[in-house]
Amino acid sequence: MDYVSVGASGLKVSRLILGAMGFGDPSWRSWVLDAAGSRPIIHRALELGINAIDTCDFYSSGRSEEIVGDAVRELGNRNELVIATKAGMPMGKGPNAKGFSRKHLFEAIDASLKRLKTDYVDLYQTHIWDPKAAIPEMMEAFDALVRSGRVLHIGITDMPCWQFATAQGYAAENRLVRFISIQNHYNPIWREDERELMPYARAHGIGLIPYSPMGRGYLCGRGRRDPKSGSERFRSDDYAQKLYGRESDERVADAVLAVGKRLGVPPAQVSLAWTLSRPGVNAPMFGATRVEHVEEAVKALSLKLDAADIAGIDKAYDPRPFAGHGI
């Protein structure tokens, strides 16, 4: 396993990050695993050298964080791991139980630390972005959390580039801690961040740790993306069905499948290898609901696509119309 710095920071992570959205409570999402089903996957990932796990307070209403915390405590290797979590989504009914106010961020981190059974998180990130967020208050709150020792680094998930640049600029002008990472939606059929956010990140030494490198299962083969007969994840994931399904998405998926057939590997590995090959990408995040998913993902690290493979996948892609929100 290779380890890389997250952008220009000193934080080192494995070239793959284990996403924990699939660990928690099956009543939250039908494809989610309970603690007993999650534990072997987490243990196998760590055995294979993955040292970073990304979760969120919103996943299974906090149960994902609890499962990650229990697994890490069982293994007794907290100092060797990079634990990332997120805040921003609703965690209660009140108007202050979400977003990026000082009040919510302070309450959210304390609740996450309790569930994770740790004194600090290595990377604390914004989750679903609120375009009306008070950026000065948010950056001052994040700075206070870092100074308190509860958070070591901060990052974002999906944010319009102009607002991200505004936040970074405010932090720099006021000598506050700045974001070191961007967790963005990126794969062979979703590449809109190539317009602004990713070039900005590369220019400013900000790490790219994209999620959904296999398109929430859409790029794992025709059977996996059939809304009726595909995987439980895709059948029950109306969000994925809203995001993907254009004619060009089908062409890209077929191109990924063709490369996999030629190389004798599953299309999921091709999609992950494509994402790993992109400029500035430090460590994609992948989800797993079986131990084999972890093992297959790790194999993708040794899969090198040649220029013709990448060109064939890229040629099939049609950019989406510019929406103005950068997501």
Which of 59, 186, 211, 244 is an active site residue? 59
CB-CB contact of 208 with 184 (8 Å): yes
Neighbours of 203 (CB within 10 A): 9
Tell me phi and psi for residue 53, to 5 degrees.
Answer: -130, 130
Angle (CA) 195-200-204 rounded to 5° is: 165
CB-CB contact of 47 with 35 (8 Å): no
For the chain, give the number of residues.
327
Question: 204: which residues sit within 8 A by CB, 6+ positions away?
Answer: 168
Q: What is the Cα–Cα distance from 98 to 150, expressed in whole angstroms? A: 19
Could you confirm whether 59 is annotated as catalytic?
Answer: yes
Q: What is the Cα–Cα distance from 40 to 46, expressed in whole angstroms? A: 10
Tokens of 81: 């791991």
| Active site (catalytic) residues | 59
